Amino acid sequence: MTTLAGRTALVTGGSRGIGRAIAQRLARDGARVGVHYGSNEAAAKETVAAIEADGGQAFAVHARFGAPGDAETLWAAFDTQAGGLDILVNNAAILGVPAQIQDVTAAAYDEIFAVNTRAPFFVTRHGLRRLRDGGRIVNIGTMLTRGSAMPASVTYAMSKGALDVLTTMLAKQLGPRGITVNTVAPGVVDTDMHEGRLVGDALAWLSSLSPMGRVGVPADVADTVAFLASDDSRWVTGQWIDVSGGTLL
């Protein structure tokens, strides 16, 4: 497929899990993909190599989110390898240690918001002057912000709720430029973020939450992002798209 031929994409947290699947799918559709990573350089290189082995184009971009000047660091690295942007996918995030409100420390709260909320806000802010008219912004959210309360994920859900607001505000602001902005909201997805948790009774219970009878896989999310990155989604903006396999039904 060459639906994104000639376009440049940046996927934050693109070295592993959902981010890797998104980067690979966008590359298969013809985009040249910047694969951002925070700490795992080897994983980023593996993702770039996999894309190139499949005939695509990619490059790695390093910036540790949560550190001072993280967004500026990211774009400085990006600018050395690309001359503009067409697709921005704000995917990078951390779950943190599951805890209900009474057990959340100030340090844990600050870390989650620094990575999941502040970083994508300023990555987007600085990215807007690089994003070409007709571009795409896709924020990776969570089903936990809409009717699926899990008290042990309160800080994670709150941090992603801010991205829901960012989506609607930017969709209104950037519409005149032909830029669409949408949120993709996964449910539980089998990635290394959940390593050791999706086994036995826990896996059976989580699978039972979806009418499909399983948990998600990264490609389930990546394929939805690919639609939103394409011209086929030109009349879709400001939307929160449930990609949880019907868990919220």
| Phi, psi torsion values for 122, nearest 5 degrees | -80, -30
pLDDT-derived band at 191 (thresholds 50, 70, 90) equals: confident
Which helix (H) or strand (E) segment is 8 a member of? strand 8-11
Q: Which of 2-6, 21-25, 33-37, 41-45 has the lowest mean pLDDT?
A: 2-6
Specify the CATH class of 8-241 in words: alpha beta
| Phi, psi torsion values for 140, nearest 5 degrees | -90, 110
β-strand partners of 90: 139
Q: Which of 74-88, 183-197, 223-237 has the lowest mean pLDDT?
A: 183-197
pLDDT in tens, 72-101: 999 999 999 999 999 999 999 999 999 999
156 catalytic, yes or no? Answer: yes
Q: Which residue has the tokens 């996927």?
A: 11
DSSP string, 204-248: HHHHHTSTTSS-B-HHHHHHHHHHHHSGGGTT--S-EEEESTTTT
pLDDT-derived band at 152 (thresholds 50, 70, 90) equals: very high
Residue-level pLDDT at 148: 72
Eight-class DSSP state of 187: -
Residue-level pLDDT at 181: 99
pTM of the model: 0.95
Which residues does 220 contact at the CB level (< 8 Å), separation at least 6?
186, 189, 243, 245
| Phi, psi torsion values for 45, nearest 5 degrees | -65, -35
Residue-level pLDDT at 202: 74
Distance CA 200, CA 190 (A): 14
Choice among 156, 190, 206, 229 that is catalytic = 156
pLDDT in tens, 199-219: 566 778 778 888 999 889 999
pLDDT-derived band at 127 (thresholds 50, 70, 90) equals: very high
Closest C-alpha among 5, 68, 64, 65 to residue 31: 5
Eight-class DSSP state of 150: -
